[in-house]
Amino acid sequence: MADGNDEKQRQLDRYRVDSEGSRLTTDQGVRVDDTDNSLSAGERGPTLLEDFHFREKITRFDHERIPERVVHARGAGAYGYFQLYESLAEFTAADFLCDTSLRTPVFVRFSTVAGSRGSADTVRDVRGFATKFYTRQGNYDLVGNNMPVFFIQDGIKFPDFVHAVKPEPHNEIPQAQSAHDTFWDFVQLQPEITHMVMWLMSDRAIPRSFRMMQGFGVHTFRLVNADGRGTFVKFHWRPVLGTHSLVWDEVLRIQGNDPDFNRRDLWEAIERGAFPEWELGLQLVPEEDEHGFDFDLLDATKIIPEETVPVRVVGRMVLDRNPDNFFAETEQVAFHTANVVPGIDFTNDPLLQARNFSYLDTQLIRLGGPNFAQIPVNRPVAPVHNDQRDGYNQRIVHRGRTSYAPNSISGGCPMSGVLSGDMEGVYRHYQERVDGAKIRKRSPSFDDHYSQATLFWNSMSGWERRHIVEAFLFELGHVERRYIKEQVVQRLANVDGDLARQVAEGLGMPAPAVTTPNHGRTSPALSQANAPRDSIA
């Protein structure tokens, strides 16, 4: 076990139970001599209600399942550590990004998005890449994906999007595939999805291994330094093994042969000491440059081209220990974009704002009430003291007479901050000026849905383009309604005429009228950009 995990590991050890070799008991600690035969009235008689061992055993079994995640249900996780190369104190007050001597423990969960818990690993889908940093200032979660952009711009559309991607409601078909009418109907009706669909039809959607996958925070976040100065930031994880994908033919065979292909690969690599490693990169944008781009930094369907803002590599993460128990750790881990530490803050990206509501809300039901931060994998290593009380699954015995603040009877938890004059380590929200009328209307700066889709296509090599066209043909080939296919092809004409023509021909449809793919908003900097820098091997 590497020393980076020590702090978290010591905490986890306190909650570990090793039952192997111990004598069988009930949950009440009463020893049991027979767990094969229920208590009955005579050898061939009925089972007796008073058989508390039988009832407890069956009840516990009946209640084993909790709801799977509403998205990202299938995943695999591991522990490890993060270490910084250079201090970022100029940009952030987060001490794990300032102190290069720290080894911050982490837990990472990789996932597919659409499939259920029992679905196959190697489907065409986005992969989740969620990292929990157990920092000395509290937990920080970077809840990202393996693609740098997203399907929608505003989180209010997330339920519509997920309902379109998930199996259709009447027959639960198809599992974990984007090859169906509802998904492509959403695509043809929502042009903002076009850039992400290009990524989804590319080989990025079929990663060879979690160890060979990039990760992206997707949104523009904000770093805030000790003086309160903000800097926009995009987060990137770069796998030291390089970015590698499967090819479609392999995918089809692997799904039948080994549906656990990706999770097995991660588990076995860690067991044999081939610890996967990623470097953390940042794209930093000074606040005053916020409006210097031909797209909106708050629009999660856009990358910041690396030619415009290079990625600065600032640290590395190593995963070096498998969990002891899948359910307790990988299934019960709870990531949340709103878990931030001093020095990291949000922007007004409407997708991020929605996420900041959604994760806590869903975890309240998924993990049985408000006390899930007490589950060992979710506990911060930073001390937790407050007046939150009670609720389902309360595991902590709070001592003392009072649970309110301020209070004059027992002192309670004195507030740090302005009242006490003690501001050390306090989370201070970035003081962004906000004013405007209440409106339900997207900013026109979010209007260009095609330029970066075109950039992506232009950055692909010949064989990468061929794979993309084949992916469109496979997926759209499963769509029943002809008008949906026609509309999708029409959208592709806004991306690239040749792409649209190849897809149309492959589907046996006439080539669409080609729109000139200069969408009126492409800057010189953007037009030279090449979205995916790493080649996909």
| Residues binding ligand HEM (CB under 6 A) | 69-72, 75, 109, 111, 128, 130, 143-145, 150, 155, 158, 218-219, 300, 333-335, 351, 354-355, 358-359, 362-363, 366
Strand partners, 114: none
Distance between CA atoms of 191 and 494, rounded to whole angstroms?
A: 10
Give the residue from 497, 505, 446 showing the smallest Cα distance to 191: 446
Output the CA torsion 120→535→485→195 (10° steps). 100
In angstroms, what is the minimal distance from the CB of 217 to ligand HEM?
7
Identity of the residue, 156 or 189, whose beta carbon is nearer to ligand HEM in the bound complex:
156
Spot the catalytic one: 5, 53, 139, 145: 145
Is 356 an active-site residue? no
Residue type, 324: D
DSSP state letter for 406? S
Q: Which tokens go with 148?
A: 């740098």
In angstroms, what is the minimal distance from the CB of 316 to ligand HEM?
20
How far, CA to CA in Å, does 502 sit from each of 275, 467, 492, 512? 42, 12, 10, 10
Distance between CA atoms of 383 and 370, rounded to whole angstroms?
A: 18
Cβ(285)–Cβ(297) under 8 Å? yes
Place of tokens 């409601």: 169
Identity of the residue, 300 or 340, whose beta carbon is nearer to ligand HEM in the bound complex:
300
In angstroms, what is the minimal distance from the CB of 29 to ligand HEM?
33
In angstroms, what is the minimal distance from the CB of 406 to ligand HEM?
34
In angstroms, what is the minimal distance from the CB of 155 to ligand HEM?
4
Contacts of 279 (CB under 8 A, 6+ apart): 237, 238, 240, 313, 315, 316, 317
- List the Cα angle 246/282/217 in 5-degree steps: 55
In angstroms, what is the minimal distance from the CB of 181 to ligand HEM?
23
Identity of the residue, 38 or 356, whose beta carbon is nearer to ligand HEM in the bound complex:
356
Give the nearest residue (CB) to ligand HEM.
128
Cβ(287)–Cβ(432) under 8 Å? no
Identity of the residue, 150 or 472, whose beta carbon is nearer to ligand HEM in the bound complex:
150
Place of tokens 């007004």: 348
Spot the catalytic one: 72, 219, 236, 336: 72
Distance between CA atoms of 343 and 481, rounded to whole angstroms?
A: 50
In angstroms, what is the minimal distance from the CB of 279 to ligand HEM?
19
Give the residue from 494, 488, 497 showing the smallest Cα distance to 519: 494
Identity of the residue, 202 or 378, whose beta carbon is nearer to ligand HEM in the bound complex:
378
| 392 annotated to bind ligand | no
| 395 annotated to bind ligand | no
Distance between CA atoms of 364 and 484, rounded to whole angstroms?
A: 38
Identity of the residue, 189 or 405, whose beta carbon is nearer to ligand HEM in the bound complex:
189
In angstroms, what is the minimal distance from the CB of 525 to ligand HEM?
24
Identity of the residue, 53 or 222, whose beta carbon is nearer to ligand HEM in the bound complex:
222
Contacts of 106 (CB under 8 A, 6+ apart): 79, 80, 81, 82, 131, 132, 133, 134, 317, 319
Q: 322-327: which pairs have CB atoms within 8 A and are 24 or more residues apart?
A: 322/78, 322/79, 322/267, 322/270, 322/271, 323/77, 323/78, 323/79, 323/377, 324/12, 324/16
Burial of 59 (0-12, 13-18, 19+ CB in 10 A): exposed
| 359 annotated to bind ligand | yes
Is 429 an active-site residue? no
Identity of the residue, 57 or 366, whose beta carbon is nearer to ligand HEM in the bound complex:
366
Q: What b-and-e string marks burial along 304-329, b requiring 16 or more CB atoms within 10 Å of the CB?
A: bbbebbebeebbbbbbbbbbeeeebb
Residue type, 325: N
Catalytic residue numbers read: 72, 145
Q: Residues annotated in the binding site for heme, as ranges? A: 69, 109, 158, 355, 359, 366
